[in-house]
Structure formats: C-alpha cells, structure tokens
Amino acid sequence: SQQGEEDPQALSIQEGENATMNCSYKTSINNLQWYRQNSGRGLVHLILIRSNEREKHSGRLRVTLDTSKKSSSLLITASRAADTASYFCATSNSGGSNYKLTFGKGTLLTVNP
C-alpha cells in the first residue's frame, strides 16, 4: 500500500524559482527519504531525515519533517532545467520491518528554461 502521498502531483515552474513538494504519511516512521527519478527509470537518493530531526540541508535541497503532522516537505532552491524529474518520498516504518520503504506516487516537477 502507498503510505506517502506527495502533493502536488505535478508542478511546473520557471528556472530560478523555488520548488516545494509535500509528503504526508500515516504511521510512525524511523526515517523519511526523498528520491528523484528521471524518465521512469532508476531512482536517485537525495536526502534522508530521521524521525528525531526537524530539518536537513544538502546543497540546494532543504527537507523538513513534522512528525506531529506526519508530513515532510522538500524545497529545491534556484531550480534548474536539469531538476526536471519525478520526486518521491519514502518512509521507513518504526519497528521490525524498518528496512522496507513505502513510496508515495510522486510529484512530477517541470522546470522551464
């Protein structure tokens, strides 16, 4: 079953603008990860945030996590055309099966040059 739900499903912006994608989930988590996928093939790991963390940065990426609201956001600053891709959040549940990732359906980001 799909636990993570990304919002919006699709986002189109101009180069240089910031892009914000949101993810909501339902159960207690161990960590939440964001992945990027180009052209429907392999996923690339972007960033992992643990349940006891609230914010994390990596280059132009900023991820926040609010466990009380069971939600996360991914901010990409100063977007580039090369950022065009689908972005997925994935949760690792707390408990014995914490290796399993449950993916959302993704946000398709289009950055127009």
Q: Which two tokens stand for residue 39?
A: 């052209």
Q: What is the DSSP string of 82-109?
A: GG-EEEEEEEEESSTTTT-EEE---EEE
The only residue of 14, 18, 97, 112 in contact with other proteins, by rule CB under 8 A: 97
| 104 sits near other proteins (criterion: CB under 8 A) | yes
Strand partners, 97: none
CB 12 within 8 A of CB 110: yes
Site string for other proteins, 13-52 (x = CB under 8 A): -----------------xx-x-x----xxxxxx--x-x--
Shortest distance, CB of residue 17 to other proteins, whole angstroms? 27
Residues that bind other proteins (CB under 8 A): 2, 30-31, 33, 35, 40-45, 48, 50, 88, 90, 92, 97-106
